[in-house]
Structure 1
Amino acid sequence: MDIGILGPLAVRMNSVSVTPTAPKPRRVLALLVLNADRTVPVDTLVEELWGHRPPRSARPTLQTYILQIREMITAALAHDPDGSSPRTAKDVLLTVPGGYLLNSGGGVHDVREFERLSGMGYRAMDAEDHAAAAELLREALRLWNGPPLADVTPGPHLSTQAKRLEESRLCALDQRIEADLRLGRHRELLAELTVLVSRYPGHESLCGQYMLALCRAGRRGEALEAYRRLRTTLVRTLGLEPSPPLAKLQRSILCAGPEHAVPAAAPRVAAPRSDRLTQARLEQRSSGAAHP
């Protein structure tokens, strides 16, 4: 089974799609593939579909959606060229005590591949192998084809998972940019960072990277203006001043000269502080706003 979540939902067996087009069965499959090879409780599926006040017919209706997905799996199993697939759809989408379990049977799962590659990239960063880190993280980010589950209307559980995945993407992006900065690729990064700081105006780490790239490119005035815009956003939106590491970077740019070297790397900003506004924007996006 090949599973695509980092973008539109795409689930295929034997090169045949098993992704329903109807919104609620599609949502059921999305939650099952996000938790592939793990039990998803019936109560979780019901809450995903109907919230905290499900209709009396919730469980039989859920069983109907499971049957529809199994019918699509049955059709895909009929295309097995060598007879190596499971014998029936119930061997793929199992009924287990308390819920259902989707047996992925190997294949490609883009979230797991993203986590594998990004984990290797983080370890390379820890080892100060910045070239390897940049390449691994770039490869991980290439797996993304849009916001996670872009064509699925999410309930409470899928919304939480989509936010988690988007935050994981931002972390990998932040580290890939950091690796590229350490490799002296500041000029190549400027166009990308210009877009990112516009998209995430309160993300302090991205702003620090942008300031550093601008300063290295001889554009100190623009670097200081980026800091001013960030400060205005944080004060107006959250009542916060920029973090001490970012303020220190601003002072180093102001005083840049032979005796005041600009840092070799962007300041590291604590995630809970730097990502409050970013998290608010992700929540707005998951509630219906278009992905930029």
Structure 2
Amino acid sequence: MRFSVLGSIEVTSDAGPLELGGIKQRAILGYLVLHANKVVPTSRLLQAMWEGAPPPTARKMIQNAVSGIRRVLTGPGASLRTHAPGYQLHVDTETVDLHRFRALARAGRAAIGDGEPERGAELLRSALSLWRGPALADLVEAGYRWSELAAVEDERLSTLEDRLEAELVCGRHREITPELEVLTATEPLRERLCQQFMLALYRSGRQADALRIYRRTRAALVDSLGLEPGRDLQELQQRILDHDVAIQLTVTGQ
């Protein structure tokens, strides 16, 4: 049995995808998968399922949903246990795409740290390929806005930034420029993406465009947060202006 949360929630057995029931049952299952192998108190489920005060029947609704989930998880490899003060979804983490993503991301970062950027980039690409859309996209569409989902999305973006950093080290600045164009437009406040875009443009002989991206990012930060760009971004701008050899491409054979 395999659990997928990097996109709409899915549970798959050897026979194919399983029918997961209505939105409340899917939401409770999704929340438990995010916290796989940990005890989730009923009080936290109540907070996650209802904004504000839950209805008087909320605990009964959770109990009914849990019973429904147990009927779905009849095959080997997963069980939903009552464990005071709540519930625990017991699974092999290898069956959860979020945990496989994290394991691949750790391996990729370790490879980069060991001086193997090519291997690191490959592992990070494999990690990111597990994503089919926003985490629990169907539940987000239904109005669920859990802090855990924002944290998982930040994990995805940080992994993406690490992969792009490795690509730059490998000399693939021209290849990643179109991707960075889109990313910096959709995530205008992430300074690391801006730095990577500026560096890719500069190494592609587009100094004026790199400086334009700095101005665009600075304006977004000032307008949205009232903040100037961080020190690293300001230093990169100055190095581009100075044609600093330290930011020139040094990959052998490029």
Equivalent residue letter for 1:98 = P
Which of residues 101, 105, 108 is equivalent to 1:121? 108
**Matched position secondary structure for 2:122:** helix
- Determine the structure 2 residue equivalent to 1:245: 232
- Determine the structure 1 residue equivalent to 2:247: 263
Contact 1:120 1:133 in 2 (8 A): yes
After the TM superposition, which residues 63-78 of structure 1 pair with which residues of structure 2 at under 5 Å, given as runs? 63-74=63-74, 77=75
**Matched position secondary structure for 1:193:** helix
Structure 1, unaligned runs of 5 or more = 78-84, 266-292
Q: Distance in 2 between matches of 1:264 and 1:35?
A: 44
Equivalent residue letter for 1:166 = E
Deviation at 1:116, TM superposition (A): 0.5
Equivalent residue letter for 2:25 = P
Answering whether residue 192 of structure 2 is matched by residue 205 of structure 1, we say yes
Equivalent residue letter for 1:230 = T
Equivalent residue letter for 1:175 = D
Deviation at 1:125, TM superposition (A): 1.9
After the TM superposition, which residues 273-284 of structure 1 pair with which residues of structure 2 at under 5 Å, given as runs? none
Q: Distance in 2 between matches of 1:26 and 1:103?
A: 17
Structure 2, unaligned runs of 5 or more = 250-254
Contact 2:93 2:100 in 1 (8 A): no
Q: Distance in 2 between matches of 1:105 and 1:136?
A: 21
Deviation at 1:73, TM superposition (A): 2.8
After the TM superposition, which residues 218-229 of structure 1 pair with which residues of structure 2 at under 5 Å, given as runs? 218-229=205-216
Contact 1:27 1:154 in 2 (8 A): no
- Determine the structure 2 residue equivalent to 1:184: 171
After the TM superposition, which residues 86-235 of structure 1 pair with which residues of structure 2 at under 5 Å, given as runs? 92-105=79-92, 108-152=95-139, 153=142, 155=144, 159-235=146-222
Deviation at 1:244, TM superposition (A): 1.8
Q: Distance in 2 between matches of 1:112 and 1:106?
A: 6
The CA RMSD measured in Å over matched residues stands at: 1.9
Q: Distance in 1 between matches of 2:93 and 2:158?
A: 27
Answering whether residue 44 of structure 2 is matched by residue 44 of structure 1, we say yes
Equivalent residue letter for 1:73 = L
Tell me the TM-score normalised to structure 1 length: 0.79
Equivalent residue letter for 2:105 = S
After the TM superposition, which residues 18-37 of structure 1 pair with which residues of structure 2 at under 5 Å, given as runs? 18-37=18-37
Q: Distance in 2 between matches of 1:27 and 1:173?
A: 27
**Matched position secondary structure for 1:177:** helix
Deviation at 1:248, TM superposition (A): 1.5
Q: Distance in 2 between matches of 1:216 and 1:196?
A: 18
Deviation at 1:238, TM superposition (A): 1.2
- Determine the structure 1 residue equivalent to 2:252: none
Structure 1's 17 and 242: CA in aligned 2 closer, same or farther, altered over 3 A? Answer: same
**Matched position secondary structure for 1:43:** helix
Q: Deviations over 1:199-256 (max 9, x none)?
A: 1112111111111111111111111111111111111111111112211211121122
Tell me the TM-score normalised to structure 2 length: 0.90
Answering whether residue 9 of structure 2 is matched by residue 9 of structure 1, we say yes
Q: Deviations over 1:81-139 (max 9, x none)?
A: xxxx37xxxx8222222211222256521111111010111112222221111111111
Q: Deviations over 1:43-99 (max 9, x none)?
A: 11122122341222111121111122222234xx4xxxxxxx37xxxx822222221
- Determine the structure 2 residue equivalent to 1:281: none
Equivalent residue letter for 1:195 = V
